[in-house]
Amino acid sequence: MIVIAGQPNAGKTSLFNALTGSNRNVGNYPGVTVERREGKYRFEGKRYDVVDLPGTYSLSSFSPEERVAQKELLDHTADVVVVVVDSTALTRSLVLLAQVIHLGANTVLALNMSDEAHAAGQFLDLDLMEELLGCPVVETEAHKRVGAQKLKSVIARAAEQPGEPRPPVLGERLSKALMSIESMLANTSVKHEQRSWVACKLLLSDREFTPLVESQGEGGFEAVAQAAVLRKQIEEQTGEDISVFVAERYHGFAHGLVTETIQQRPRDDARVLSDAVDRVLVHRVLGLPFFLAVMYAIFWVTFTVGEYPMGWIENGFAFLADLVSANWPDSTAPELRSLVLDGVIAGVGGVVVFLPNIVLLFFGLALLEDTGYMARAAFLMDRLMHRFGLHGKSFLPMLTGFGCTVPGIMATRTLENERDRLVTMLVLPLMSCGARLPIWMLLVPAFFAPSMRAPMLGAIYLFGVILALSLALLLRKTVLSGEEAPFVMELPPYRVPTLRAMLIKMMERSWLYVRKAGTVILGISILMWFVTSYPKADARDIDQQIAADQVTHQEGRDSIAATLNLKESFAGRLGVAIEPVFKPLGFDWKLVTGMIGSFAAKEVFVAQMGIVHSLGESGGRSESLREDLARNYSSLAGASLILFLLIATPCMATVAVTRRESGKWKWAALQFFGLTVLAYIISLVVYQGGLLLGFG
Binding site for ligand GDP (CB under 6 A): 6, 8-14, 26-28, 32-33, 55, 112-113, 115-116, 141-143, 370, 495, 501
Pairing mode, strands 262-264 and 123-124:
antiparallel
Quick check: 483 binds other proteins (CB under 8 A)?
Answer: yes
**From the centroid of its chain, how far is CA 595?**
26
Q: What span, in angstroms and rounded, lies between the C-alpha atoms of 321 and 324?
A: 5
Quick check: 191 binds other proteins (CB under 8 A)?
Answer: no
Indicate the residue among 51 and 606 with the shorter CB distance to ligand GDP.
Answer: 51
Q: What span, in angstroms and rounded, lies between the C-alpha atoms of 20 and 5?
A: 15
Quick check: 107 binds Mg ion (CB under 5 A)?
Answer: no
Residues whose CB falls within 8 Å of the CB of residue 60, separated by 6 or more in sequence, listed in order: 66, 204
- Side-by-side strand order, sheet with 46-52: 37-43, 46-52, 2-6, 80-86, 107-112, 137-139
496 backbone φψ class: left, alpha, beta (φ>0; ψ -120 to 50) = beta
6 is in the binding site of which of other proteins, Mg ion, ligand GDP, none (Cβ under 5 to 8 A by kind)?
ligand GDP
At 42, phi and psi to the nearest 5? Answer: -110, 140
Q: CA gyration radius for the chain? A: 30
Q: What span, in angstroms and rounded, lies between the C-alpha atoms of 49 and 634?
A: 62
Minimum CB–partner distance for residue 296 and ligand GDP (Å): 24
Minimum CB–partner distance for residue 174 and other proteins (Å): 15
| Widest distance between CA atoms in the chain | 100
What residues numbered 33-92 form the site for Mg ion, per CB under 5 A? 33
Cα 268-272-275 angle, rounded to 5 deg: 120
What is the total count of residues that contact other proteins (CB under 8 A)?
51
Residues 364-403, one symbol each (x = binds other proteins by CB under 8 A, - = not), give ---------------xx-xx--x-----x-----------
**From the centroid of its chain, how far is CA 647?**
20
Identified binder of other proteins from the candidate list 22, 34, 43, 91, rule CB under 8 A: 91
Minimum CB–partner distance for residue 63 and ligand GDP (Å): 14
Distance set, CA 220 to CA 103, 205, 246 (Å): 19, 13, 22
Quick check: 215 binds other proteins (CB under 8 A)?
Answer: no
Q: Is the peptide bond before 580 cis (omega within 30 degrees of 0)?
A: no
Identified binder of other proteins from the candidate list 16, 29, 48, 57, rule CB under 8 A: 57
What residues numbered 4-43 form the site for Mg ion, per CB under 5 A? 12-13, 33
623 touches 670 (CB < 8 A): no
188 is in the binding site of which of ligand GDP, Mg ion, other proteins, none (Cβ under 5 to 8 A by kind)?
none
Indicate the residue among 10 and 647 with the shorter CB distance to ligand GDP.
Answer: 10
Indicate the residue among 407 and 464 with the shorter CB distance to ligand GDP.
Answer: 407
What is the total count of residues that contact Mg ion (CB under 5 A)?
3
Identified binder of other proteins from the candidate list 47, 284, 540, 553, rule CB under 8 A: 284
Minimum CB–partner distance for residue 246 and other proteins (Å): 8
Give residues in contact with Mg ion (CB under 5 A).
12-13, 33
Chain residues in the site for other proteins (CB under 8 A): 57-58, 60, 62, 88-89, 91-92, 95, 205-207, 210-211, 224, 228, 232, 240-241, 243-244, 247-248, 251, 266, 270-271, 275, 278-279, 282, 284-285, 287-288, 379-380, 382-383, 386, 392, 416, 481-483, 486-491
